[in-house]
Amino acid sequence: MTGQKPDADGADGENATRRGLLRAAAGATVAGAASTAGCLSVTTPADVAAQNEVSGNVGHFVGPSWLADNREDAVVLDARDAERFREERIYRARRVPFDAITARKSTDEGAVPDTDAIADAFGEIGLTPDDDVLVYGASVGSRVTRVAFALAAVGHEGAIRVLNGGLSAWNGRLGTGSRDRVSPTDYEPDPATSTWVTREWLADGAGTFNADGPGLVDVRMPEAYLAAAGSDVLNEDHDRHGHLPGAIDVHWVGNVDGRRMTDPGRLVQLYEVEGELDRSETVVVYGGDNVDPTSTWLTLKAIGFEDVRLYDGGFGEWANVQGDRGRYPVETATNVVVETDGSVGGDDGGGDFSCTG
């Protein structure tokens, strides 16, 4: 990162503001390990639910008590695969056709979300643009956040919320078996182009990111970001390895602590203090695909970043672009890696995090 280092005495206003934000965010909590069951060594469903409550100034993420209080007012969307959905789900939840809501289309500017296809997918499950929505999965991984992004991308007017802790946090009524019948709707998209950026937008700004231009976060594993020779995380389908010029690396898994979101104070530490991102400026996130980076997209928005955008084409598009690759350079020798220690809970395979994560 370029720019001035913080003064030793912290006298400058910018850093004082940053610390203020840190304190404010740290005051917001996700109830966690400190919450104990009433009986030693016994964890009740109520305890689990309590552990996943969200309080303070955190957007989008809500605990199970919110859902219990608002069950009749929100459409509940399940981001998991069909098998998990059939086994057990929140009563009357609708399963999102996941592949459809990751659809992209090619434009002269590069790949962008195919909002028509995404809107059709939401229409198939009976959603209307003004529905208040709650999305859940096995945890709060990137399948869940991709659904949230897809809703934002089609200009969804209703509130978009994510259930902290996933299905295991819910101790209310459950459903099982075949899906409930819903009447399809004609979901008319109102594409929110400010939620994403394109390859050409990034190419125009090459060299400015995390300097005098927008923030840029690569959410992939550090080995992919660094193009670590011989690493098995390097995608063989990519012509080139490394990252976009100026990007910092914060592996998206750091957003997740088991099945719930990482403590907001820790997230502020990761992105604002260690990553030196400015919450009042535009921040672009990208990954190898268009699923995992949505975890960072939603997380940054949840802790108060004002303008967060997704590069939907991802590094796969950038690395393999045809033609004048001098316009789309890749850096390998930068090493601004913010270490994370998160983990994604939930079951494998059909859970709610991308297989590419």
Partner 1 sequence: MTGGDGRTDAPADRVLAVPCEGDDLLALFALDTGERLGEVPVGSHPVHATTCRGRTVVATMGERSVTAVDPSGEVTRVETGVLGPSHFAVANGELYVSCSAGDALAVVDPETLTLVDRVAVGAEPHELAVASGGERLYSGSRREGVVDVVDTGSRERIGAIDAGPDARVQGVAVSSDGERGYAVDQRGARVVAFETGGDVAGDAASAGPVRAEAAVGADPYDLVATGNRVFVPGRGDGVVHEFDRELELTAVHEGFSRPVDVFEVAGDWWVLDAGAARLRSFDGAVVETPAPGLVATPVGGAGDRRLAVSHYDDDRVSLVDVDSGTVWTAESPAYPFGSVVV
To partner 1, the closest distance from the beta carbon of 222 in angstroms equals: 16
To partner 1, the closest distance from the beta carbon of 215 in angstroms equals: 15
To partner 1, the closest distance from the beta carbon of 225 in angstroms equals: 13
CB closer to partner 1, 20 vs 207: 207
CB closer to partner 1, 82 vs 321: 321
**Among the listed residues 193, 182, 314, the one whose alpha carbon sits nearest the alpha carbon of residue 247:** 314
C-beta separation of 1 from 336 below 8 A: yes
To partner 1, the closest distance from the beta carbon of 219 in angstroms equals: 20
To partner 1, the closest distance from the beta carbon of 5 in angstroms equals: 13
CB closer to partner 1, 170 vs 311: 311
**Among the listed residues 298, 328, 278, 348, the one whose alpha carbon sits nearest the alpha carbon of residue 138:** 348
- Size (the chain), residues: 357
C-beta separation of 314 from 238 below 8 A: no
To partner 1, the closest distance from the beta carbon of 241 in angstroms equals: 8
In the chain, the amino acid numbered 327 is R
CB closer to partner 1, 59 vs 329: 329
**Among the listed residues 108, 134, 105, 128, the one whose alpha carbon sits nearest the alpha carbon of residue 117:** 105
To partner 1, the closest distance from the beta carbon of 310 in angstroms equals: 22
How far separated are the first and last CA of the chain, in Å rounded? 25
In angstroms, the CA 152 to CA 201 distance is 20
CB closer to partner 1, 2 vs 183: 2
| Residue 95, H or E segment | strand 94-95
To partner 1, the closest distance from the beta carbon of 323 in angstroms equals: 10
To partner 1, the closest distance from the beta carbon of 209 in angstroms equals: 9
CB closer to partner 1, 233 vs 330: 330
Question: In degrees rounded to 5, what are phi and psi of residue 275?
Answer: -85, -15
CB closer to partner 1, 242 vs 287: 242
In angstroms, the CA 189 to CA 119 distance is 6
In angstroms, the CA 82 to CA 178 distance is 9
* 3-class secondary structure, 213: coil
| Residue 120, H or E segment | helix 115-124
Can you give the binding site for partner 1, defined by CB under 8 A? 2, 206-207, 211, 227, 229, 240-242, 245-246, 324-334
CB closer to partner 1, 324 vs 348: 324
Please name every residue paired with 250 in a beta bridge, in sequence order, or none if there are none. 338
DSSP secondary structure letters along 227-248: T-TT-TTS-TT-SS-SB-TT-E
Tokens standing for 223? 């080995």
In angstroms, the CA 132 to CA 315 distance is 32
CB closer to partner 1, 144 vs 244: 244
